[in-house]
Structure formats: structure tokens, C-alpha cells
Amino acid sequence: MTLRTLAAALLLPLLWPTLPAIAATGTDAPPVPEEWAEVEEQARGQTVYWNAWGGDATTNRYIGWVAERLEERHGVEVVHVKLDDTAAAVSRVIAEKSAGNVDEGAIDLVWINGENFAAMKRHDLLFGPFARRLPNFALTAPEENPEVLTDFTLPTEGYESPWGKAQLTFYHDAERVPTPPGDMAALLDWAKANPGRFTYPLVPDFLGSTFLKQALIELAEDPAVLADPAGEHDVATVTAPLWDYLDALHPHLWRQGRHFPTSGPELKQLMGDGELALAFTFNPSEPAAAVAAHQLSPDTRSYVLDGGTLGNVHFVAIPFNARHKAGAMVLANYLLSPEAQARKQDIDVWGDPTVLDMDRLSPEQREAFATAEDNPARLPPEALGKLLPEPHPSWMEALEAAWLERYARN
């Protein structure tokens, strides 16, 4: 919690204007070449330290596969620095900048979005803009898919490169829950009728915080205010319906709301063990992938709430003082390749949805994304259209701080 507290303190002032584009390179670091072939040549022999969440074995295996491809094809070594919380990476770059380290940073690439991107942008901690320099970025068709250009309402301005999509997806054991709740009010009624069969991850775990935002969007008197910075509104008044709701919900959760699973993988394990009958994930393909891997019951089914669920794109970014910027760019570009995106979307590998626009791919490349329809746990494709936009990142900070004050146990 120490690193999280430090990062939170630095993230509080989230009301800022959009920053100008600044190519932040260290004083002694070699400049990144303009020509892509020269970028690849400079990257050869570099070791890229990729700071990325390490809490899921499936994700970790995929990152390991990416590392093998980069070594084979570009002579770039990739070291996965596993994080429990991305805020730790933000704190490290802040500390390096404070110490005057402008070109020997320990982090070359970071998996990031939302509040952490906002913090790094606020503190001038990002290298770029670089995204449009990546040859494969064009395959996202950014003009037709503006979600790859915005992170929690903030323009990325080329300081992040997209590499996956997410949408809050509920899943249930259809044998035990033939008709799952379709909104937050129905969820409360269901939890009261089925005590101990539902819960959410411990805040500030990202999935737990996402549940808070989903509930607030449904419960707030005027959810449109969530697109504004929280400081422009009376936060206590806007969020009051959420706390009333959680006060009513918690006694009926798993372990009466006195303990919470620490992460999404632990939540999934509770479903697999039969302790829960209803859960959720931020990866629409995860339930189907877990059924295929015999981690969840074959009776598992996926759905989104009647009014839609939160969704976003997740990104990678390069710190301003990264030692190996060329290698980081080559890695970011490979993550956008049809090969890497198709493998990532495969439910037998990870199941993370692609950010590529299929119209930009050849017929042969599109074929690699074809999915089998014989897994009934898979979320129907039309459900992905029920997408709700993320609130401004300052609301996530406000919700996490208030939740910890109200519900954290010593």
C-alpha cells in the first residue's frame, strides 16, 4: 500500500489542461531515428524492460511468447517486470525524475491506461508522440475508431499505443442462475436472495474499482457529470447513491462483505470452486477461455447488463527517460501486428480482443481472427455494442479514496 498511497497523493490534482506534445529524450540518450528501418537497427541488441501487470498466468505466458518473437526477429530482449499495481511504475518514474535521472530510467515500456496515464501525462513523464510513427498503428484505422486515441476521456496525443480492448462482462453458472440480474438494482435483489454467491475484488484493484464506476453510472442522478473532472462537482453528493447501495449490498456478499478477493483471477477461482454463482471480468473472452481450460463449469454463460457496461482500450507507453526507446517502439509496433493481435485474441492463448480494424487487413490476415462458435460461454458479438464510456480518471481516484475510508479493514 505504500507505493499506492504515494501515487495517489501525486495523482490528486487531476484538473489540468491538455499538455503540448513534447518529445522528451534524455540529454545523453541517442535520438530515436526518423526512418523506421533505422529505428529497428538501433533497437537491435537492446533489452526492453516492460513493466506490465503480472497477476494472471495466461497474460504472462502471452508476454513471454512476445518476448521470444522479438528476440528471434529483431534481436531485442524483452524482460517482463511483473507489477501488482501500475501505480508502482508511475511512482518509480516520478522518483527518477525528481533525482535528475533523465536518460537512464529503469522502465522502457509500461502497460498503462486511465488514472496512471493521466498522472504520467500530468507530470511530463511520457516520451513522444510516437504512436503514429509505428507502421502497424495504421491498422487500427484511428480516424474510424477514435477509441484508440482517447484514454478515459483524455486524448492520448500519440503518447500511448493501443494493444487491446476491454469491456466489463458478467458471467454466471446457468445451472444455478438461469436468469441473471440485468442491472444494479436487480443485482442487489439477487444478492439478498442468494447470500454469499457474489462479490467484487478489493479496491483499489482495477476490476474492483471498475465495479464501483459501473454502479455509479447506473445510480448517479446525472451520470453525464462523470465525463467532467471530479473537482468541478460536489463529489459527495454525486457519489452518495453509490455508498447507500454498497451499504445495502455488502452484508449479502461472499463472507458478508468483510473480506474481498484481491483480484480478478481470484474472483474467477471462487467461481471455479463453486463458492460464487455470479462474477465479472474486464475481458469479454475470459469466461469462454476459462471453460475451454476447464477452470469454469461448462454451464458458464456470459452477458452484459441491460443498459450496457464500461469498456475501454488499454495501451502501452514509453517513459520520458527510457534507456531503450527504439526497442520499446519496436515492441509496441509488434504488439499491433496481425500475428500478435490474432494470437492474443485466441481464447486458447489469452482471449483479449483486438484493436485492429479488420477492413485494414488482407483476407489471409482476417482469417487468423476467425473464431469458433461452439463455446456457449462466449459473449455474443452483438453484446459488445452495449459499451459505456469511462468516466474522467479523477472519478476513479475519488471513488477509491472514499471506498478505502469507508470499508477498508485494518
Q: Is 11 exposed, middle or buried (0-12, 13-18, 19+ CB in 10 A)?
A: buried
The pLDDT, as a whole number, for residue 380 is: 76
Q: Please give the chain's pLDDT, 410 residues, in tens.
A: 333 333 333 333 332 223 333 344 344 567 899 999 999 999 999 999 999 999 889 999 999 999 999 999 999 999 999 998 899 999 999 999 999 999 999 999 999 988 899 999 999 999 999 999 999 999 999 999 999 999 988 999 999 999 999 999 999 999 999 999 999 999 999 999 999 999 999 999 999 999 999 999 999 999 999 999 999 999 999 999 999 999 999 999 999 999 999 999 999 999 999 999 999 999 998 999 899 889 999 999 999 999 999 999 999 999 999 999 999 999 999 999 999 999 999 988 988 989 999 999 999 999 998 876 668 888 877 777 788 989 999 999 999 999 999 998 64
337 phi, psi to nearest 5 deg: -70, 150
Per DSSP, the three-state class of 14 is coil
Picking from 316, 320, 317, 267, the residue whose alpha carbon sits closest to that of residue 295 is 267
- pTM equals 0.82
Task: Round to whole Å and give the CA distance between 279 and 292.
Answer: 18
Same fold: 2-164+314-375 with 167-311+389-407 = yes
Question: Up-side HSE of residue 248: CA atoms within 13 Å toward CB?
Answer: 15
Picking from 181, 162, 155, the residue whose alpha carbon sits closest to that of residue 170 is 181
Amino acid at 44: R
| 336 dihedral zone (left: phi>0; alpha: psi -120 to 50; beta) | alpha
> Who's near 34: CB < 8 A, 6+ residues apart?
none
Pairing of strands 309-317, 387-388: parallel
* Chain position carrying cell 447513491: 241
Distance of CA 376 to the CA centre of its chain: 25
Q: Where are the domains of the chain?
A: 2-164+314-375, 167-311+389-407
Second-level CATH architecture of 167-311+389-407? 3-Layer(aba) Sandwich (3.40)
Amino acid at 56: D
- CATH ID of 2-164+314-375, from 3.40.50.880, 3.90.180.10, 3.40.190.10, 3.30.420.40: 3.40.190.10
Strands (E), 205-254: none
The pLDDT, as a whole number, for residue 354 is: 92
Residue pair 120/114 in contact (Cβ under 8 Å)? The answer is no
Looking at the chain, the number of H-run helices and the number of E-run strands are: 14, 11
The pLDDT, as a whole number, for residue 373 is: 62
The pLDDT, as a whole number, for residue 298 is: 95
Please say whether the dihedral angle defined by the alpha carbons of residues 206, 211, 217 and 220, taken in this order, is positive or negative.
negative
| Residue 140 grid cell | 487500427
